[in-house]
Copies of this chain bind each other. A is one copy, B any other.
């Protein structure tokens, strides 16, 4: 969507291009200042009221999280469809359709949806990622019914004239220009994803290749809507000052009548095993060079199956989970300073294969090669020497704190419940995930640092800066994660 509302969910991921999944932001969370080193907490504070989940007769999911602290509510409609479900030739259509969902229904004119939400005193937006598409409104709790009526109407009856599509497609293309074409690191990230993922649909950018946007037709968007916007492929999440049974009755009333249809078959499109290093360079006008290392690593497949994913999350947090964590301290500070900024992130879970990324911007006089070597040296050092108990306690404290902070926002709670549903995770997934993370030992972190960071599953993408032409169009865009499009 084009609305200039706050980019609430993307804080912290601007450096990284391939993060997704419930813990994406954990790995990159930045506390305002170094924390003291408390003993690691052993568990999360328990939420006062548990969420509840229902399945409507047509297969649609309803999740309600009561939170009575303020007279506000959030409705989020989640559709388990994202760029991962596109086929090439129409890349970007999931996101284009997200825009078109604001353009009318059988009874609403283009733009009327947003005007009505505003009239309710609400704010709203939408988002599209590789894995899912979401729509939300935050409204005074007593206006929930009207928001549900509006949302169910467009889920069932989205429609618009071809002219409206043509205009909005130009908006999307401009979005691509601002966020990708004019952003060398975004372009580089797009190319890196394309090089890492050969058979997986994560190969393609969420916003779509420009050639596919140029050739997109109204019918492409309508067909995608018909195909994927079916009740059994969607969940309504309501969080806030609401009563679950009352919300359930409203959901039955507004969503329950939408006819059931089959969710289309999905092809697995498994990524073949990578068996050797890949390097891509990209030259573009830019102030600074940049290097991004993407390692193919295991991910969480099922919540309680043994996996190295937990230890990899911890590793990413030890490297870059707080101000003054290893990468920051050793690469951007002090006498050994080689980088202006660095980062680490791990996708952890998602509908497609996940990556562990290390990124860096060389300091003046340094090269991407130096930064690349320094980043890898930090992982190698952990593989060799392990991590300290204090370090581990610090990152664990951070998670528990960030989980607690989430409880403070109905929006964040709805987001978490929805993204867990997309991954097929249960209602208590976040708590169980934190339990798994809290159980990770220093030895496990050391082991994964030694196991997954060789050359053979690595793709290195390097931005080689060209001189910036002062006349060229630049600087009007803003850095944005490729992982999510509004």
Contact = CB atoms under 8 A, between A and B. Distances in A.
B90 A88 contact: no
A428 to B, nearest CB: 33
B275 A284 contact: yes
Nearest to A190: B198
Contacts of A456: 283
Contacts of A269: 88-89, 209, 211-212, 215
Contact of A280 (B87, B268, B278): B278
A209 B91 CA distance: 19
Contact of A212 (B90, B194, B199, B210): B199
Contacts of A470: none
Nearest to A90: B267
A195 interface: yes
A439 interface: no
B278 A195 contact: yes
- Most chain B CB inside 10 Å of its own CB: which residue of A270, A278, A456, A462: A278
Given A88-B87, A88-B88, A89-B87, A281 B272 contact: no
Contacts of A275: 282-284
Contacts of A418: none
B276 A278 contact: no
- Most chain B CB inside 10 Å of its own CB: which residue of A91, A199, A268, A464: A199
Interface in A448-483: 455-456, 462, 464
Q: Give the number of copies in the complex.
A: 2
- Categorize the interface residue count of chain A: 35 or more
Interface in A86-135: 87-91
A384 interface: no
Nearest to A266: B89
A303 B281 CA distance: 34
A261 B127 CA distance: 39
Nearest to A284: B275
Contacts of A280: 195, 276-279
Contacts of A276: 280-283, 462, 464
Interface in A202-219: 203-204, 209-212, 214-215, 217
A278 B198 CA distance: 14
A304 B284 CA distance: 34
A191 interface: yes
B268 A277 contact: no
Contacts of A89: 87, 201, 267, 269
Interface in A252-307: 265, 267-272, 275-284
A361 to B, nearest CB: 17
Interface in A161-212: 191, 194-195, 198-199, 201, 203-204, 209-212
A457 to B, nearest CB: 11
A209 B283 contact: no
Contacts of A203: 88, 198, 203
Contacts of A279: 277-280
Contacts of A267: 89-90, 211-212, 215
Contact of A214 (B194, B217, B268): B268
- Most chain B CB inside 10 Å of its own CB: which residue of A203, A204, A275, A456: A275
Contacts of A455: 281
A281 B270 contact: no
A267 B277 CA distance: 32
A418 B36 CA distance: 75
A285 to B, nearest CB: 11
Nearest to A216: B267
Nearest to A460: B279
Contact of A278 (B91, B211, B281, B284): B281
Contacts of A282: 275-276
Contacts of A217: 265
Nearest to A87: B87
Contacts of A214: 268
Given A210-B272, A269-B212, A282-B275, A201 B464 contact: no
Given A87-B87, A276-B283, 15 more contacts: A195-B280, A198-B203, A199-B209, A203-B203, A211-B269, A212-B267, A212-B269, A214-B268, A275-B283, A277-B279, A277-B281, A278-B280, A279-B279, A279-B280, A281-B455
7 contacts: A87-B88, A87-B89, A90-B267, A203-B203, A209-B270, A214-B268, A278-B280
Nearest 3 pairs of A and B residues by beta carbon:
A276-B281, A87-B87, A89-B267
